[in-house]
Every structure is written in C-alpha cells, then in structure tokens.
Amino acid sequence: MATATVVIPTLDARDLLRDALASLERQTVRPAVVVVDNASSDGTAELVRAEFPWARLVVNEENLGFGRAVNRGAAEASSGVLVLLNNDVICEPDFVERICEPFGDERVGMAAGVLLQARAPDRVDSAGVEVDPTLRSFDYLWNRPVHELAAARDPLGPCGGAAAYRLSAFRDAGAFDEAFFAYWEDVELALRLKLAGWECRLAPGARALHRHGSTLGASSPAARRLEAFGRGYVLAKYRIRRGPRVAALDWPPLLVHALVRRELDPIRERRRALKEGRGNAIAGRVPRGLSTVPYRESLRRQLATAGLRARGALPAHFYEAR
C-alpha cells in the first residue's frame, strides 16, 4: 500500500482536534500526520506538542483558510498519498487503510472517504462531491442511509473533509486554488484533476464521524459568504453561462439572505468572485461528461432542502452557530 500523509488544518478547535488525532493513533496503518494551525488562540499548538509529539506541527501566523493551510501541509509530504481530514472528524480504525486502497489503480488520482453524521451515524453526511451541468455542487449521498453505500457509484471527486489524492497528481495540478478561503476548493480541484485525465474512486469502507460545521457553523453568516464566493468563482473560472438555469438555482437563496436576513455580503462576495474567476478562467468549455446530476434533479434537491428547512427537519447542525 502507498505511504500516506494526513494533513489536518485547524483553528481554535483544541478538543475536536484531540479526538481526531486520537483516532489516527488507532489506525490499522499509521500515517504520517501534519497539523496546520491557523493561528489558534486556544492552546492548540501546545496540545499537539504535549499530547501528540509524533505529529508534525506547522503554525501559521494568521488564519490562511482551508485550502492555503492544506497546501502548506502538503509541502511537508514526500510521496504516496495525501489524505485530508477536517479537525471535527473521528476516523474508524481502518480509515487510512481503506482510503488508500484505490490508488493501486494507476488511473486513480482521487479517492473519496465517507463522512457520517455524528448525531445520526446511520446517515451519510458526504461520500464525495458531484455537480450538475451548471457546476452546482452537492455532497454525494447526503442524508441517505448508510446501507446505500453498497450500491453507490464513484463521485466526481472527494469532499475535502475526508479526501485522498495521489500526491504527484495534487502537485502537478497546482494544489488547491488559493483564491478560495474555505468551501468549494475541493470541487474546483476535482474539476481540474478530471480535466487532466485522473479518475476518482469512492472508498465506501473509509468512514469517519463528522461533527459538521463545528468551525464556522453550517448556516452561519461566514459560511453563507464563503459559499457565495465559491459558487461565483467556479462559474466564472469554468466559463459557465449565467443564464436562466443558473439564476433559478442561485438567486432564490441570495434574495433570502438579502431580504429576510438583511445580509448583502453574499451578493457582494458573489460579484467579487465573478471578477476574480474571470481573471483565472480556463481555456475552452467544460466537457458535458463531468456533470453527474441532471439539472432537473438539481432543482428538485434545492426545493427539497428548502422544504426541510421550512419544516425544521434538517439535521441539527444546520441550526447551530447561526
């Protein structure tokens, strides 16, 4: 099996990180581990030095966000497989072993692990990412029963909270685009790797409990701003025409933010993202084959999520840290 280096970016999540690192101590295959501390003020660095001295610690002088922190951590890896974990996960003992298995196939550049909802571990939080024809992204199998993993297909790419990349492919692709602070960088990298000819495999046995949204809150104002930027940046970078289909998906939530929550920042971030994305636009158009979700299904999912929210039936983490 290929050697593995696990990179965990973290910010002010000392107790969560302790649980994540403890789960890595119990792995059937022990990886090298790099913790990238984004200028925490809660004693995170001291915790790592005192309780997990086997982990390599990289301390940033400021919060660089997720993608830039990962890029710094990945620079510490030498070869093999780069595994990314959020600081709010607890890995099953064979997680690293299982997520590295697909790389025995030389065509594979990415592998998607499975995040389970910590408060409902019989439900999937993410089994990778998938996109519709407008590149609107979704967590594959979100909120579906775990038993559906038995018949699951491969996603477009992994979710950054439980991801593995062939290190050479990650570096050749240019690593994470540092225009992103957080959110969407995993989707954008998956698109680049697919365009470069790499395949993604689902690793259904690589499972971890996920305490979703523990850093920013799944429905916090910060998360809404970052989501708006990420979506706009990908639209512009990949030259997706912003016609009625994009408007039908994107503008209802943006208008809710503006009119109901009195938040204009998501719209401002969307405009900024479109400008930055145009400056980094790829040549040509995205092949249709990258889409894994039909447009009508994309609309249905958005309406279904809105209905769950209206009934107060979303998983609990969507109502925390608002």
Q: Considering only CA atoms, which of 217, 212, 226, 196 is closest in space to residue 162?
A: 212
Mean pLDDT of 67-96: 97
Q: Is residue 188 over pLDDT 80? A: yes
Q: Is residue 218 over pLDDT 70? A: no
H/E segment holding residue 205: strand 199-210
For the stretch 9-30, pLDDT in tens is 999 999 999 999 999 999 999 9
pLDDT class of 213 with cuts at 50, 70, 90: low
Residue 73 is encoded by which pair of tokens? 């951590």
How much is the pLDDT for 319? Answer: 40
Percent residues over pLDDT 70 in the chain = 95
Q: Mean of the per-residue pLDDT values for the chain?
A: 93
* pTM across the whole model: 0.93
Q: Considering only CA atoms, which of 313, 299, 317, 307 is closest in space to residue 138?
A: 299
Structural domains present in the chain: 4-210 (3.90.550.60), 221-319 (no CATH)
H/E segment holding residue 248: helix 244-259
Residue 209: strand, helix, or coil: strand
pLDDT class of 308 with cuts at 50, 70, 90: confident
How much is the pLDDT for 204? Answer: 98
Report how far Cα 251 is from the mean position of its chain's Cα atoms.
23
Q: Rounded to an integer, what distance in angstroms lies between the CA atom of residue 236 and that of residue 45? A: 38
Q: Is residue 214 over pLDDT 80? A: no
Q: Rounded to an integer, what distance in angstroms lies between the CA atom of residue 110 and that of residue 192? A: 11
pLDDT class of 321 with cuts at 50, 70, 90: very low
How much is the pLDDT for 219? Answer: 65
pLDDT class of 322 with cuts at 50, 70, 90: very low
